[in-house]
């Protein structure tokens, strides 16, 4: 079984203050979201041409890339319906 390398990213109360933000873990930019008492972490780079997903906005459970508006599910990283193959990396949280 693979060992998970958990990283501390901040105090919960601080992180809850914004529904979507860019964080950096071990030099990697990630998009952290908090909505309906659940967290989501996906890659901070859009797989179109690298837009900063953590600086986009939330539309329902989708993060909207600020550059050309592609959408990715905030917890699974899967592209919006009809574009599911446009998936970005998803990360576990606890």
Which residues of this protein are in contact with ligand FES, per CB under 6 A? 46, 48-51, 65, 67-70
Q: How far is the CB of 35 from ligand FES (least distance, A)?
A: 20
Q: Which is nearer to ligand FES, 10 or 60 (CB)?
A: 60
Q: How far is the CB of 46 from ligand FES (least distance, A)?
A: 3
Q: How far is the CB of 63 from ligand FES (least distance, A)?
A: 10
Return the number of other C-beta atoms located less than 10 Å from residue 87's C-beta: 16
What's the angle, vertex CA 12, arms to CA 58 and CA 79, rounded to 5? 30
* 40 close to 33: Cβ distance less than 8 angstroms: yes
Sign of CA dihedral 50, 51, 57, 59: negative
Q: Which is nearer to ligand FES, 15 or 90 (CB)?
A: 90
């Amino acid at each position: 079984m693979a060992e998970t390398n958990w990283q501390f990213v901040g105090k919960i109360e601080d992180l809850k203050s914004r529904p979507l933000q860019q964080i950096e873990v071990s030099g990697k930019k990630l998009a952290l979201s908090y909505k309906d008492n659940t967290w989501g972490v996906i890659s901070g780079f859009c797989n179109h041409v690298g837009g900063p997903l953590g600086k986009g906005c939330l539309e329902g459970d989708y993060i909207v890339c600020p550059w050309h508006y592609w959408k990715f599910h905030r917890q699974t990283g899967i592209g919006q319906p009809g574009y599911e193959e446009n998936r970005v990396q998803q990360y576990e949280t606890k």
